Amino acid sequence: MENKYKRLLQRWDELNRIATLEDTEFLREMNCIEHFFLLEKEGARYEFVLKFAKEKGLKRVFDIGCAMGHQSEVFIDSDIEYIGINDVPIKNYWNSDRYKYITKQYPFKIEAKETDLAISLLCLTWDCYLYEGEKTLKEQCEALTRDFKHVLLYMQKDKLLFVAKYFKGYEMLHDNFVYFYN
């Protein structure tokens, strides 16, 4: 079976051949690619995001916590624009010739449109993005509701009621996906 994410597999093979234990940037990239294939079940979660955005008629996805942006590969053959947001500087984001990346810690002001979707998978509501615990989550929720009409989070269920109070409504979707809207 031919893999639709062949470019990512080729990059992983290349890194596997050239990386040494001292090449922390290469090792980090390998880890991100492995995450895409193993934890994301070969992009299944991001394919869900793409399908969801299309069904809702949304045009741009802001991926908060995009790491190196390998998941942007899911959007390559679609008409959905992908914008990655990462809080740690990355030398070479994946598909940076095609998509925009912002290196900044969220929250910050985003001039979103009605047809934009904020997404975060395993970042917002998770410990890795809760720099100051509940205070950080409150600031992130206030910014999300200020900036976006549509928010799709792959989140911890124990944070649901906390996040939900910042939005007009929400829908529980499959797995740990929750759609919040204003």
Q: For 139-163, what is each residue's pLDDT tens digit?
A: 999 999 999 999 999 999 999 999 9
Distance CA 180, CA 164 (A): 7
Residue 125: inside a domain: yes
User: In the prediction, which pLDDT does 110 show?
Assistant: 98
Q: What is the DSSP string of 78-109?
A: SS-EEEEEESS--SS-TTTTTSEEEESPSP--
Least confident of 16-20, 99-103, 176-180: 16-20
Parent domain of 152? 43-181
Q: Which of 69, 68, 50, 70 is nearest to 59 (CA)?
A: 50
Q: Which of 103, 179, 104 is nearest to 148 (CA)?
A: 179
Least confident of 3-12, 16-25, 92-101, 170-179: 16-25
Q: For 103-138, what is each residue's pLDDT tens digit?
A: 999 999 999 999 999 999 989 999 878 888 899 999
Residue 123: inside a domain: yes
Of residues 85 and 38, more confidently modeled: 85
Q: How confident is the model at residue 26 (pLDDT cuts 50, 70, 90)?
A: confident
Residue 173: inside a domain: yes
Residue 11: inside a domain: no
Residue 157: inside a domain: yes
Name the CA radius of gyration of the chain, rounded. 16
Residue 23: inside a domain: no
Residue 105: inside a domain: yes
CATH number at residue 135: 3.40.50.150
Distance CA 176, CA 114 (A): 24
Q: What's the number of domains the chain is made of?
A: 1
Residue pointed to by tokens 């040494």: 20
Residue 21: inside a domain: no
